[in-house]
Amino acid sequence: MGKKISIALAGLGSRGKDAYAQAAKEFPEKMEIVAIADIDPAKVKEVAEEFHIPQERCFASAEELIAQEKLADVMFITTQDRQHVGQAIPALKKGYHLLLEKPISPDLEECRELVRVAKECDRLVIICHVLRYAPIYSKLKEVIDSGVAGDIVSVMSIENVGYWHQAHSFVRGNWRNSNTTSPMILQKCCHDMDLLLWLTGKTCESVSSFGDTYLFKPQCAPEGAALRCLDGCKAKDHCPFDAEKIYLKDPKIGVENGYTQWPVNVLTLHPTVESVTQAIQNGPYGRCVYHCDNNVVDHQVVNLKMTDGSTISHTMCAFTATGSRYAKFMGTMGEIIADMTANTIQITPFGKDTETIDINQIASDFFGHGGGDKRMVEDFIDMLLLGNGPSGHTTTVEQSVESHFCAFAAEESRLHNGSVVELDKFRK
């Protein structure tokens, strides 16, 4: 292949460094990282060495990178939620196409502004709704569109956040407080809102929602709980959220068992027993989950009424053993069940036997949101290389804002005791 797509990577956190940047190794004939930026000099140094980035193409912030003359075809913006649009708009005006981490912004006007500027600059902006690209959902879309279940009348969907994931990201971690990041239903579930709209091919008319922080607050702290897990906590033995249990001793993700990827690599760049222990002792991830500055919900239910009269119910809950998604699509001619944990799709036409599609038999490599991460990057790069329009999976910025409108409406409803919120107020 001739020309490669050049990439400037702004933000070297878990999504930028460990997910999307790795696609450059998967598809070296299609893309190349040529410039990087992050506020952490250690990450900049390491990624520069990994991808052979010269010093003059390494920057101390996304803003410093964007201030340069245009250095690449595309910019990946994988910074924090409230930084996205403030960085995306000047990057668009410099001429970059954008791969932009979700959510676009917790601010409605910023979302609208990004759509306007992208159109004005005639640049492609793809939001990282990666689940569309996961093999299970690609196949599920195909099954639903085949009409085997008839018209979809009702959907029951659940996102199992997982007890330790909630503690890691939404109690102790970067997305714990909506005043500095985003509401939980936007940050975590704009994925789901986008996915459900895309799978059903429907448009949302109105939303109602309930949810709250049930457990992770001071009044729920067990007797003897310390402010930090390693500060002689007397509740430690019976607490599943204990940082030592999660980051050091857990059979699957504990560094004592040889694991060094996410989430332990968020605590320290090179996880070892010693470095993770030190991070728990001194950093935010060693705080008691009942004594953090979190305010995002740990459970929420969202009811969506579609313009054709059909309905969707989505539940997000922290109190699950594992993190995964499950959905049941109920149609006029049958039902379809998608189970991301089992990686299966069950199809039962009314009056007929159930057919089970095992996604493990028709695809491989499910790392990163069920295999969606790198497939999304490749789809985006192929659009630019081949000059094609959006594929059947692509979520353009115009489509992505619909998922955000659903999330904005859900949060407004939740804050007003479940009152019904019409989506047209956000579209105007």
Which residue is associated with the tokens 């309930």? 210
Residue 159 and residue 118 in one domain: no
Compare 398 and 42 and report the one with higher pLDDT: 42
* pTM (2 d.p.): 0.95
151-160: pLDDT as tens digits: 999 999 999 9
SS3 assignment, position 120 = helix
Bond from prior residue into 263 cis (ω within 30 degrees of 0): yes
Examine residue 377 and state whether it is found in any structural domain, yes or no: no
Confidence at residue 252, expressed as pLDDT on a 0 to 100 scale: 95
d(CA 156, CA 101): 26
Examine residue 178 and state whether it is found in any structural domain, yes or no: yes
Residue 212 and residue 255 in one domain: no
Examine residue 143 and state whether it is found in any structural domain, yes or no: yes
Domain final position from 111, 127, 143: 127
Mean pLDDT, residues 108-134:
95
Confidence at residue 50, expressed as pLDDT on a 0 to 100 scale: 96
Residue 309 and residue 192 in one domain: yes
Residue 142 and residue 257 in one domain: no
Residue 140 and residue 235 in one domain: no
Residue 183 and residue 303 in one domain: yes
Examine residue 82 and state whether it is found in any structural domain, yes or no: yes
Residue 118 and residue 62 in one domain: yes
Minimal CA–CA distance to 130: which of 102, 170, 111, 162? 102
Confidence at residue 372, expressed as pLDDT on a 0 to 100 scale: 84
Confidence at residue 95, expressed as pLDDT on a 0 to 100 scale: 98
Residue 209 and residue 249 in one domain: no
Examine residue 176 and state whether it is found in any structural domain, yes or no: yes
Output the DSSP codes for 288-354.
Answer: -TTSS---S-SEEEEEEEETTS-EEEEEEES--SS-EEEEEEEESSEEEEEETTTTEEEEEETTS--
Mean pLDDT, residues 316-345:
97
Mean pLDDT, residues 288-299:
98
For the chain, what is the domain count? 3
Confidence at residue 2, expressed as pLDDT on a 0 to 100 scale: 57
Examine residue 382 and state whether it is found in any structural domain, yes or no: no
125-182: pLDDT as tens digits: 999 999 999 999 999 999 999 999 999 999 999 999 999 999 999 999 999 999 999 9
Confidence at residue 1, expressed as pLDDT on a 0 to 100 scale: 43
Answer yes or no: is pLDDT of 109 > 70. Answer: yes
SS3 assignment, position 211 = strand
Q: Would you tell me the crossing angle of helices 190-200 and 135-145 to the nearest 10 degrees? A: 30
Residue 33 and residue 99 in one domain: yes
CB 305 within 8 A of CB 206: yes
Residue 305 and residue 260 in one domain: no
Answer yes or no: is pLDDT of 227 > 70. Answer: yes
Residue 24 and residue 106 in one domain: yes
Confidence at residue 273, expressed as pLDDT on a 0 to 100 scale: 98
Answer yes or no: is pLDDT of 116 > 50. Answer: yes
Domain final position from 235, 262, 286: 286
Range of the domain at 259: 218-286
Examine residue 379 and state whether it is found in any structural domain, yes or no: no
Q: 140 phi and psi, to 5 degrees?
A: -60, -40
Q: Which CATH number belongs to the domain containing residue 159 in this structure?
A: 3.30.360.10
CB 299 within 8 A of CB 319: yes
Residue 197 and residue 344 in one domain: yes
Confidence at residue 235, expressed as pLDDT on a 0 to 100 scale: 97
Domain final position from 286, 321, 340: 286
Percentage of the chain modeled with pLDDT above 70: 100
Confidence at residue 17, expressed as pLDDT on a 0 to 100 scale: 94
Compare 363 and 412 and report the one with higher pLDDT: 412
405-417: pLDDT as tens digits: 999 999 999 999 9
Examine residue 319 and state whether it is found in any structural domain, yes or no: yes
Q: Which CATH number belongs to the domain containing residue 103 in this structure?
A: 3.40.50.720
As a whole number of angstroms, the longest Cα–Cα distance in the chain is 67
1-44: pLDDT as tens digits: 458 999 999 999 989 999 999 999 999 999 999 999 999 999 99
